[in-house]
Amino acid sequence: MSTDLIPPHGGELINRLATPEEKQNFIAKADSLPRVQLDKRATSDLVMIAIGGFSPINGFMGQQDYLGVVKDMRLANGLPWSVPVTLSVTAEVAEPLTLGSLIRLDNPEGKFIGVLELTEKYSYDKELEAENVYRTKEDKHPGVKVVYDQGEINLAGSVWLLEREAHPQFPDYQIDPAASRDLFQERGWKTVVGFQTRNPIHRAHEYIIKCALEIVDGLFLHPLVGATKSDDIPADVRMRCYEIMMENYFPQDRVILAINPSAMRYAGPREAIFHALIRKNYGCTHFIVGRDHAGVGDYYGTYDAQEIFGQFKPEELGIAPLKFEHAFYCTRTEQMATAKTSPATKEERIHLSGTKVRAMLREGKTPPPQFSRPKVAEELAKAMKVD
């Protein structure tokens, strides 16, 4: 690994992909191993652990790491980490499992995809996790609902992913951390800004991305394609929008488009830290944090996700947040702007958001050019049209 690149979180890029020999050995034992079936989020987490996206984590968290993260946003060794990565099962599933044994991990369709070496099984306080990580105990919050619905026992231990399969929808954009680091090095990029979104890209996104591109060597456009809320725009639609932006509105030699296979937590400020550390592992030196990053509903303040970075020393996180104010379309200057760059009155500001775009699409309306580039708006309207 090039010394020119930012080191992964914790100093080492984790690789928990089974070797051919390990895979063969696990498959030979498959029918005799106790099974745990993963949900979509745990499946994504297994993949992210295995490819190094969650470095330095090499498995599902033990109790000491879990409590450190929930209470203090730190692993047991003191390293910053803001969101627990756990495998939760019912007491009935956990009871017969023996510490020190291998557990077969199946995906939601029942396919054997990984192995857990069980080192701990422990109960946990769901309300404590909800209040600390999501800042609410309300089950109306989608992240809290996941916590409340999952099992009451966490299984912990190192994992192996049997095989890194091509993504079923976006194989051409599957660029894992080791590969993204190689690409950055090949292009001579020493400073790279990562951009995260679960929404279709709109003009406010484009504005802050291009502002960031002015100060770094390259952009890692890294939309999330793991599990999201049912009313979020589907991943295939969002990816087509990114392709349109790449083809028409970005300098292609300075941008890499890749998928982020992890699942959304909707944890707002804590997830902003989580997303930044993931991009650090992919090789990014900077990370864009805009308005209400990873937020949902009215659970978080507009800039809470930016302010939380102040709770850590910059050298602890090792990746620099680029903080942007709420961007809007200014009718006076007829361009995108923020309060820092526009003299517009409140009435002259057209505010954009993924929520507004989704509402328009549900009503059968095409977002106007102040919201989305026309080619993107056409794609969204076509994809979301209800017969």
CA nearest 57: which of 104, 103, 9, 112? 9
User: Residue 354's pLDDT is what?
Assistant: 67
- Residue ranges of alpha helices (H) inside the chain are 20-29, 40-51, 63-72, 91-94, 126-129, 142-149, 177-187, 203-213, 235-248, 269-282, 304-307, 314-317, 354-362, 374-384
Identify the three-state secondary structure at position 329: strand
User: Residue 2's pLDDT is what?
Assistant: 44
Distance CA 87, CA 319 (A): 28
- Residue ranges of alpha helices (H) inside 287-353 are 304-307, 314-317
Torsion of CA 288, 291, 292, 296, to 10 degrees: -110
Token pair listed for 344: 């517009």
Name the DSSP letter for residue 80: B
Residue 273 in contact with residue 82, Cβ under 8 Å? yes
Active site members: 198-199
Q: At what angle do helices 177-187 and 269-282 cross, to 10 degrees?
A: 60
Q: Where in the chain is the domain with CATH 3.10.400.10?
A: 20-161
Give the helix, strand, coil percentages of the chain, each rounded to 5: 40, 15, 45
Residue 48 in contact with residue 9, Cβ under 8 Å? no
Tracing tokens 């070496």 back to the chain, one arrives at: 117
Distance CA 130, CA 120 (A): 22
Distance CA 60, CA 157 (A): 6
Name the DSSP letter for residue 311: G
Distance CA 87, CA 280 (A): 24
pTM above threshold 0.85: yes
Q: Where in the chain is the domain with CATH 3.40.50.620?
A: 171-384
Residue 176 in contact with residue 52, Cβ under 8 Å? yes
Identify the three-state secondary structure at position 263: coil
Residue 66 in contact with residue 74, Cβ under 8 Å? no
Token pair listed for 250: 């970005």
Torsion of CA 212, 215, 220, 221, to 10 degrees: 20
Distance CA 18, CA 158 (A): 12
373-to-238, 244, 246 alpha-carbon distances in Å: 14, 9, 12
- Name 322's bridge partners: 288
Distance CA 108, CA 110 (A): 5
CATH number belonging to the domain at 20-161, selected among 2.30.40.10, 3.60.130.10, 1.20.1740.10, 3.10.400.10: 3.10.400.10
User: Residue 201's pLDDT is what?
Assistant: 84
Instruction: Give the angle 204-206-207 at the CA atoms, nearest 5°.
Output: 65
CATH number belonging to the domain at 171-384, selected among 3.40.50.620, 3.40.50.300, 2.40.420.20, 3.30.930.10: 3.40.50.620
Token pair listed for 339: 């309060």
Name the DSSP letter for residue 62: P
How many CB atoms are located within 10 Å of the residue 256 CB?
21
Q: Mean pLDDT per 10-residue run, the chain (387 residues)? A: 78 98 97 96 97 98 98 98 98 97 97 98 98 96 96 98 94 97 97 89 90 96 86 85 92 95 93 97 96 86 93 96 90 90 90 74 82 88 68
Q: How far apart are the first and last CA of the chain?
A: 52
Residue 257 in contact with residue 246, Cβ under 8 Å? yes
